[in-house]
Amino acid sequence: MNLKDQFIEFIKTEKLFQSNDILLLAVSGGVDSVVLCELCFQAGYRFVIAHCNFRLRDMESERDKEFVVALAKKYCVDILVKEFDTNDYSSENKLSIQEAARKLRYDWFNEMIVGLPLRIEYPIASWIVTAHHADDNIETMLMNFFRGTGIQGIRGILPKQAKIIRPLLPFRKEQLMKFAIAHHLKWMEDSSNQTDKYSRNYFRKNMIPLIQHIYPEVEKNLLSNLQRFGDIEKLYRESVCRHKEKLIEQKGNESHIPVLKLKKTPALFTIIYEIIKEYGFLTGHVQEVVKLLESETGKYIQSATHRIIKNRNWLIISPKATQEAKNIVIENADKRIEFGLGALYLDTSTDAHTSTDAHTSTDAHTSTDAQYKLQTSSLIAQLNAVDIHFPLLLRKWKAGDYFYPLGMKKKKKLSRFFIDHKLSKSDKENMWVVEMNKKIIWVVGMRIDERFKVTGSAKNILSITLKRQ
C-alpha cells in the first residue's frame, strides 16, 4: 500500500475517529504537519487548522504563521491562530520553554474541543490531531527511560490518548519526506531544530547517531521494543487494577487501605506508587508510605491536595480540604478546623473562662475537684492538656468504637451510648469523635472521656469548641 492507504488503514484499525468527524490539525508549518494536512485532504477527512505562534524565533515565527495561513487557503479550510508570550509564561510558572510551550498549546487546543464553559461558545472540532511520527516516538521513549518514568513512559506515545490522536505514528520521518517530495509539497524549516540545546534535539542529533556506530539497526530495534513495551504496559495496567480493586475500599471521597493486606502485596513499592500518584504524591513519597505502615496511629504524610493517614490497621487517603474529608488530622498549631458538622476551635490556656453563649446540657462535663471554672456546654470539650498528645484525629464514629464517658469508670460502646441518649438513625450517622492514639477523647458535641478530664492538679487546659453550621 502507498502511504495514503496505510494512513487510512491505521486510522480504521486503531479506531482513531469516525470518517465524518471534524479534526483540529495542529500545524506548525514543518514537513510533518504539512504531510498530515495533505493526507487528511487526500483521504477526504474534514478538518480545520490550528497554528501556535510562540514568538520564540522573531521573524521566523511570523514567516511560519503566514505560511500556515496560506496553507489553509490552499485546502479551503478554516484556520485558528493563537499568539503566546511563551518566555513570560515560562518565567512566571517556572517551566522550561519546552514545557511552557506544550502547556500553552494543549490548553488552547482543548478549548477548541470542549467549547463551553471555556472562552468559545461551542466545540470547533471533535479531535486534536498531531503529526507525531515513529522517530518522535523513539526519542520520547529514550528521554522517558533516562528520566525514570517507568513502564508508562517507555511504552512511548499512544496513537490515541483522551482527545488527542496521532495518525502518523507508524511512519518514519524518511517516509514522510519522500511523500512530501513526491507530491511537490512545500514546508518551513525550523532553525531551532539545528541546535542541540533542547533535549529532544540532543537525542536526535547526538545520542542516537552515537549508538548507531555500535548497533546500526538501533532505531528499528527500538521500534520493535515500543510495540512490546506497549503490550507489557497493557498487562501491567490490568494487574495493577486487580490489586487496587482488592486493596482499596472507597468511602465517600476517601480511600481506605488495610495495612496488613497491603504489606503482603507483591511488588509493594510499585503498587503503592500506583495508588498514591492519583492524589498528587510522587515517587519520593513511596518510601515514606512504607514507613507509615509501621508507624503509630495519627502519623501522616501529605501532598498538595491529600493526606495519607495511619489510623490503626488502615491507611486513609483523605482530601486536605477538611470540609470534604471524613478523617481529619488536627495538629498542635491548628486553631480552626472545618468539617462536616461545622468548625472546631482549639485553644490552650492556663485558665478557662465561661462562654456567654454556652448551652447548658445534662451531658455537660464538670469537675468538682478542678481549680478552674469549667464550661457547662456539651459543645465545648475541656481537657487536661498534659494528657493530650498531637496529632489528633477527627473522624466519623464507627461500629466497635468505645470510650469511658465522663463520670463513669467503665467503658461503653458508642452504639450503646447513642441508644441511651435516644439518637435517631440520621443523628448517629452524623456523629464525629476526636481520637488520640486509638483512644476517643471526645464524642463531639456530647461528652468527653473520663480519662482526660480536667482535675485540680491540671496546669493547662485544652478547650475545643464546636460551632455548628
Here the CATH number for the domain that contains residue 252 is: 3.30.465
Q: Are residues 185 and 67 in the same domain?
A: yes
What's the pLDDT at 403? 97
pLDDT given at position 361: 37
d(CA 195, CA 432) in angstroms, rounded, equals: 62
Residue 356 burial by CB count (10 A; 0-12/13-18/19+): exposed, middle or buried?
exposed
Q: Which residue has the higher pLDDT, 148 or 27?
A: 27
> Is residue 41 within a helix (H) or strand (E), and if so which, with residue range?
helix 31-43
Residue 225 in domain: no
The 10s digit of each residue's pLDDT in 321-366 is 877 788 999 999 999 998 988 999 999 876 544 333 333 333 444 4
Q: First vs last Cα of the chain: how many Å apart? A: 70
Per-residue DSSP letter, 196: S
Question: How far apart, in whole angstroms, are the C-alpha atoms of residue 246 and residue 253?
Answer: 18
Domain end (from 289, 319, 349)? 319
Q: Which of 181-185, 280-284, 323-327, 422-426 has the lowest mean pLDDT?
A: 323-327
- Can you give the pLDDT at residue 356? 33
Q: Is residue 418 part of a domain?
A: yes
Q: Which residues of 57-91 are buried (b: 16+ CB within 10 A; e: fewer)?
A: eeeebeebbebbeebbeebebebbebebebeebbe
For position 201, what pLDDT does the model report? 87
- pLDDT for 196: 76
> Is the same domain home to 342 and 423?
yes
pLDDT at 381 over 60: yes
117: cis peptide before it, omega within 30°? yes
pLDDT of residue 426: 87
Q: Are residues 212 and 263 in the same domain?
A: no
More confident residue, 405 or 366: 405
pLDDT at 110 over 70: yes
- Statement to judge: residues 188 and 75 lie in one domain: yes
Average pLDDT, integer, range 156-178: 96
Amino acid 120: pLDDT = 54
Do 423 and 312 have their domain in common?
A: no
| Domain count within the chain | 3
CA 385/CA 462 separation, integer angstroms: 5
Same domain membership, residue 393 and residue 289: no
- Residue 376: predicted pLDDT: 63
Asked which of 293, 319, 345 is the last residue of a domain, the reply is 319
| 123 pLDDT above the threshold of 80 | no
pLDDT of residue 355: 38
226-281 confidence digits (pLDDT tens)? 999 999 999 999 999 999 999 999 988 899 999 999 999 999 999 999 999 999 99
Q: What is the pTM of this model?
A: 0.66
Residues 458-466 have a mean pLDDT of 91
Are 258 and 346 part of one and the same domain?
no
Question: Do strands 46-53 and 79-83 pair parallel, antiparallel, or not at all (unpaired)?
Answer: parallel
**What is the phi/psi pair of residue 6, to 5°?**
-65, -40
Q: Which residue has the higher pLDDT, 356 or 50?
A: 50
Q: The domain containing residue 437 runs over which residues?
A: 327-468
Average pLDDT over residues 311-326: 87
Is there a single domain that holds both residue 294 and residue 331? Answer: no
- Asked whether residue 408 carries a pLDDT value surpassing 50, the answer given is yes
Does residue 227 lie in a domain region? no
Section 311-329 average pLDDT: 88
User: Is 238 domain-assigned?
Assistant: no
Q: Rounded CA gap, 459 and 385, in Å? A: 8
Q: With respect to residue 212, please indicate whether it lies within any of the assigned structural domains.
A: yes
Same domain, 74 and 193: yes
Q: Does 451 lie in the same domain as 368?
A: yes
Q: Tell me whether residue 231 is in a domain.
A: no
Percent of the chain with pLDDT over 90: 74
| Per-residue pLDDT at 422 exceeds 50 | yes
Asked if 280 and 258 sit in the same domain, the reply is yes
> In CATH, what number is assigned to the domain containing residue 189?
3.40.50.620
Is 459 a residue whose pLDDT tops 90?
A: no
pLDDT of res. 115:
60
Q: Does 228 fall in a domain?
A: no
- At 265, give phi and psi (nearest 5°): -75, 130
Question: Average pLDDT, whole number, for the chain?
Answer: 89
Confidence of residue 369 (pLDDT cuts 50, 70, 90): very low
Residue 223 lies in a domain: no
For position 357, what pLDDT does the model report? Answer: 35
Which domain-ending residue is among 319, 350, 376? 319
Q: Are residues 8 and 144 in the same domain?
A: yes
